[in-house]
Structure 1
């Protein structure tokens, strides 16, 4: 039920119809809009109509084929051709052919079937739907599946009519012969007329630019009235001014008569052909009219799609039960009007939660209350007419059986109705007819009479609506209704927001708060004298004015705190997302760290095994070779190359291990003891390299050292060489088990056990000795660069035991090599474990003369000062 009868006019749906009809291509579509576009309350019908609109939009976007879009209403011509001996004219036949060609094109495309491979095998209804046709566009396919198409009629008409809609010469042999005779006769007349005209022009009877013309189907010559007797013939007509007469020369009268006879025969033959094809079409006229009805539906869908695209309309998810849930809803007519002037509509969110059935909207005049009510009414009506609506995708409206509206002034002199009486009449119908599936739209509820009794009546009627379980949108200014809504669960207040600073409406609806009328503020803005406003405020009382102000403050504060709550919720979501991301990254880092450590341990183990195997193999080969010095020398060289490669790999592993340890200390200071594994693996590689070096030297000593040389006492000034090498050096000093030896220009600290005594080099071999101990320029540059950047202090605080020991050993080796006299090791006090470790290690280093605590002013026991030899 739609109440009242002028419902469509009140909510603006008549204008929607007009806009739709303006987008139709033919009277078929406009008639569909007028007759078939109506309010529906059956859920399945509404869903089918909405699905058709949605699928047609997809169809137009996806189809690449050329679609016939010629829509002609030939129903009247078909009805005229139903009696016997009647026929369709050429134009009607041509329009029929084009229309049913469009029907055939759309029906073919709408009923495209889905490939079997494209069907989901997991569909729960597969067994139930087995054997049913599955269309690519289900709703459009259902609409087009029973439409009759007439490809034979299209081909038959194409054989008769040309592309301009005229009967072809080849439509019949008789017609072809007649038109051939007409053409030959016409050419003969033209030849005769040209001869007569040339003769008359030569004689000066007619002008040079005169040509034959056609009058009443006959070829004639235009001649001046004074000279009409100069040319023998029949005068057929004269011009409107009387200055020209049209003469048919006697020589062509018989030929023109023949043409008239032939044209009459041609017309009879054309009619015969049209009657013949009409006889073929006549049995199919009911089906053809039904097909044109389908074409009208397509024209409507095409126009509806263009309308929806221009307004940004969508097909929302609908539910069969009554519900009000419109998000970002827009009044299409208001949008259309404002767009002409560059304005924009403010979208509205109108939603009633479960248990809420009536929205009571209050707020200032001209604040948008009526627009909000009309927007809900128009969109709901459009939806239940099967039309897409301009709203958000997350809208989820329901379906109502009835929509009733009370808006505007319905006073009537004829029916003796005042404004208030007309409102009461509408309320009476609503209370009597509305049910739990009815939507009531009431503007200015209770208005039109004395405010006190009007407010009381409005509250009583509102209570009846609640008892009847009606849904509704109601606008009002009455305070008692606002208080009633606050106390009643089924009714919720809504406010049209107003900017009290700029004194202008915001046209935004806020559900959950009552609105203020801002009567005093608006009056002050309009320039009403201040004393008048003050007097009015005194009349209503301070409590009323303050209560209105309190409402404004409550609304403003609630909006502020809700904005705060939204921001906090957003920040919490962002924080949770960030924490989850960091946790994922930390997990990935831990897994990568474990993988790197496992790889390092495996590499170190493999390196040790490889080193041991290579050393043992070399020793075995040397022993087997015995006196073969050349082979022994080659084996030593191979072992030296392998040693160099291992040490290079070890240095690289040390560098990687130190870098990883540094990253771990910076990012995860309190991580578990897993970091030590990396340094430990690097230390194992260093140990392997040291073991390889020592065993290599041992191998060299077995193959090249004379036992008698080791028995000589070594002292300062003795000439020595490292066991297994040929370079000769001189001992500068001996400290404990270590000796400082000068090889060429380079001092080296070497354990005494690795030295053997030798004869002093002869003068003639000095150059050879110098060559043997020569240091390349690249080596000197590298040593200089290292000395330049060397820092005589190292900080090992926070390192693990193995990592600290490795770092200190490298540091002391570099300091000795660079001939540093004093270095400092910063280990801190703490538990004293690092301090003890460092000092135990320093005791084993031959190049360390002495170590002690730093002065108390510079760190005390937290720093160890090392004096180097």
Structure 2
């Protein structure tokens, strides 16, 4: 696209802002080099990594940092066989490998498994762990070779340090000898030219045999290595030379290992740079609430925001004052003429449309709302701002004409977007208006969408009379003399120059004379436009009031419905509780009757007569309990639905009519002809054709099954094993178990939940705290209770 147009819509500044979010210089450079394209397939391909990082950040994930340098120059130095680089350069290569390792680990993690582009990048990265470990073992962060680089180096350095200590001690002792008291200048040991020496007075040179290595600035002191320490000094020098040779060998070896990785490192640099770009775009999209827009056949901006303006207002603490741009044009519209007051935001409309369009054609997300649709343009032309050029001897008007000439020459070469600011300004209004109309008429014949701003009334009228042109106005509040920055399509806007001048205090005589100079037609037009603007503002206010009232009405209606549903639910709960309470009374009566029957059996002399009486009483009680339970079910449960045997799956909630219970399918048997169903911890095997589809088991269903179990249980155990159960299954089984324990008059029971993750134990304890029948419970003790902490001891009331 035209570089001049990209500059005047502030596209380079936008890319600079985007580049500031990159973590590396390579990523920032790639962002600044982005250019719009008009091939939809290429745009979709560019979008893929950005869509992945947008999903990544929207899910609240934080990827690792990308701290690495551009090592391309180092790799070029290492390319020739036998070449080597220093420790600093190798540390930079190590930094790249470290960044690869961190990025690869993250991109191949579960977080990125559903992000195809990022996951594929993770598979491309080569982190060479053996080379990376060797570099960490051999070099510190400053590039110095460590003792751990090789055993020989460590030994040479230990030997060198030992020789240095011995030399220091020997020379220290010599400086303290009484016979050298007048010979030694100062009692300290120093190093000159890599040799340990002591300071000697020049006039006493012959008093201490040795080698002179240096002298002081004044020449009065010479630095002498005594003959007695020469062998030890030579041995130290030899150790240091061997240390230097070993360091060079290590650097050559590490350089050779990096040389083998040159293709991989170049590929890693490419992937990490693209990753840096994608992460920067993802951060920007998350920060500025951006979306990937849809490309179509017309321009429809929903809540479009200029990125740089939004940043500026946010930095000034006025982020909430930005008014989003809403603009929808019909498919056949070729020209949009934007009019209205100065400082009303007309130029911002042009720049926002241009910048969002170009950014979207780079594949980038843009700050827009749902429903946005953008057109795809092959070219962009713009004439915005002051085109004056002193170097080319062009006035402002001439600069605009020069630019418009270029636009007219290129607009017919493909679908293009044309942005013209203050068209026809800078010269006589009549001639400027005529020229503006001719330019718009010419552009309307091309395959172009033109957005132009103007104050000229003749241009407003011209656009109003043409089928493929439409006027738009930026809203302005005459009471406050402040622009509202909203765009209203379908009407021209008044300039309000006289009203603004009057409000700002220009003398009345000047204002009266200004109005006298204007034609009556112009005054009527301005008055008509102001009236239309005021009427539309009033209509918009009324529409908002109606919408608010409708919203309140809907909220009230929903509230009434919710309250009614709550009352209905409360009624059902009351009926359900009443039936449950009645069922409980029957159960208590049954227990009392069981006790009485046992006494009655002992008292009856005729055993057969006693059994007959007991059986009759039990049958009567059973019938009454089932009647109560059936009433509760009709109140609380929804109607069940028949289910085909081939549709049954493990985990489905089903009903077994002949057992009057419902539960969860645990297993399909005999090819699906039979089904194992878990009901309150009990496993029932039934034919699949007997099942009906039901909703999740209600508390009532569980209660009815508990009652049935309480009737059939004989001898009750004092221990329940829940190991391997889910919390919800365990609670159901525990409920039935405690009911049986209460019926059996047990005072204390054991619940075995095991150790595991502790989730089952916590779920059991939470449920026990809510039971009125539980007096207390505690974790088993290691020695006193078999099972220790894997058991909970429950004391019943």
TM-score by length of 2: 0.64
Say which of 16, 26, 29 aligns to 2:27. Answer: 29
CA distance in 1: counterparts of 2:526 and 2:221, whole angstroms: 91
Gaps of 5+ in 2: 579-797
Note the alpha carbon deviations across 1:290-330, whole angstroms, 9 max, x for none: 21122222333444455555xx3233242233543333333
- The alpha-carbon deviation at position 445 of structure 1 amounts to 1.3
CA 1:215–1:519 in structure 2 vs 1: closer, same or farther (change >3 Å)?
farther
Give the structure 1 partner of residue 745 of structure 2.
none
Give the structure 2 partner of residue 88 of structure 1.
85
- 1:192 matched to 2:192? The reply is no
Pairwise mapping of residues 668-679 of structure 1 onto structure 2 (< 5 A)?
A: none
Note the alpha carbon deviations across 1:582-607, whole angstroms, 9 max, x for none: 4676688799999999999xxxxxxx
Give the structure 1 partner of residue 252 of structure 2.
275
Note the alpha carbon deviations across 1:262-301, whole angstroms, 9 max, x for none: 3232222222222223223323313311211222223334
Pairwise mapping of residues 87-486 of structure 1 onto structure 2 (< 5 A)?
A: 87-112=84-109, 135-162=113-140, 165-199=143-177, 203=181, 212-221=189-198, 233-237=210-214, 247-308=224-285, 312-321=287-296, 323-344=298-319, 345-355=321-331, 356-393=333-370, 395-412=372-389, 415=392, 417-434=394-411, 437-486=415-464
Say which of 537, 540, 547 aligns to 1:559. Answer: 537
CA distance in 2: counterparts of 1:364 and 1:559, whole angstroms: 16
On the 8 A contact 2:335/2:440 being kept in 1, the answer is no
CA 1:112–1:535 in structure 2 vs 1: closer, same or farther (change >3 Å)?
same
On the 8 A contact 1:87/1:278 being kept in 2, the answer is yes
Q: Secondary structure at the match of 1:141?
A: helix
Give the structure 1 partner of residue 762 of structure 2.
none
CA 1:230–1:539 in structure 2 vs 1: closer, same or farther (change >3 Å)?
farther
- The alpha-carbon deviation at position 29 of structure 1 amounts to 2.6
Q: Secondary structure at the match of 1:320?
A: strand
CA distance in 1: counterparts of 2:325 and 2:514, whole angstroms: 35
CA distance in 2: counterparts of 1:146 and 1:331, whole angstroms: 37
Note the alpha carbon deviations across 1:155-206, whole angstroms, 9 max, x for none: 3433433566433334334433432332222222222232234448993777
Deviates more, 1:211-220 or 1:530-539: 211-220
CA 1:215–1:598 in structure 2 vs 1: closer, same or farther (change >3 Å)?
closer
Give the structure 1 partner of residue 481 of structure 2.
503
Pairwise mapping of residues 385-784 of structure 1 onto structure 2 (< 5 A)?
A: 385-393=362-370, 395-412=372-389, 415=392, 417-434=394-411, 437-576=415-554, 578-579=556-557, 582=560
Q: Secondary structure at the match of 1:6?
A: helix
Q: Secondary structure at the match of 2:261?
A: helix
On the 8 A contact 2:12/2:32 being kept in 1, the answer is no
On the 8 A contact 1:369/1:475 being kept in 2, the answer is yes
CA 1:596–1:541 in structure 2 vs 1: closer, same or farther (change >3 Å)?
same
Note the alpha carbon deviations across 1:745-773, whole angstroms, 9 max, x for none: xxxxxxxxxxxxxxxxxxxxxxxxxxxxx
Note the alpha carbon deviations across 1:41-70, whole angstroms, 9 max, x for none: 233443444442343254357587883532
- The alpha-carbon deviation at position 418 of structure 1 amounts to 4.0
CA 1:560–1:147 in structure 2 vs 1: closer, same or farther (change >3 Å)?
same
RMSD (Å) for aligned C-alpha atoms: 3.9
Give the structure 1 partner of residue 39 of structure 2.
42
- 1:59 matched to 2:56? The reply is yes
CA 1:135–1:547 in structure 2 vs 1: closer, same or farther (change >3 Å)?
same
CA 1:294–1:249 in structure 2 vs 1: closer, same or farther (change >3 Å)?
farther
On the 8 A contact 2:16/2:32 being kept in 1, the answer is no
Note the alpha carbon deviations across 1:219-260, whole angstroms, 9 max, x for none: 344678788887665554466788976554444444344333
CA distance in 1: counterparts of 2:105 and 2:573, whole angstroms: 62
Q: Secondary structure at the match of 2:374?
A: coil
CA distance in 2: counterparts of 1:20 and 1:82, whole angstroms: 34
CA 1:400–1:202 in structure 2 vs 1: closer, same or farther (change >3 Å)?
farther
How many residues are paired up? 577
Note the alpha carbon deviations across 1:84-121, whole angstroms, 9 max, x for none: 2211321211221221221232134224468xxxxxxx
- 1:70 matched to 2:67? The reply is yes
CA 1:20–1:238 in structure 2 vs 1: closer, same or farther (change >3 Å)?
farther
CA distance in 2: counterparts of 1:239 and 1:6, whole angstroms: 67
- The alpha-carbon deviation at position 492 of structure 1 amounts to 2.9
Deviates more, 1:366-375 or 1:197-206: 197-206
- The alpha-carbon deviation at position 561 of structure 1 amounts to 0.7
- The alpha-carbon deviation at position 482 of structure 1 amounts to 1.7
CA 1:479–1:80 in structure 2 vs 1: closer, same or farther (change >3 Å)?
same
On the 8 A contact 2:291/2:367 being kept in 1, the answer is no
Q: Secondary structure at the match of 1:85?
A: coil
CA distance in 2: counterparts of 1:174 and 1:535, whole angstroms: 100
- The alpha-carbon deviation at position 339 of structure 1 amounts to 4.1
CA 1:50–1:201 in structure 2 vs 1: closer, same or farther (change >3 Å)?
farther
Q: Secondary structure at the match of 1:524?
A: helix
- The alpha-carbon deviation at position 468 of structure 1 amounts to 2.0
CA distance in 1: counterparts of 2:22 and 2:561, whole angstroms: 60
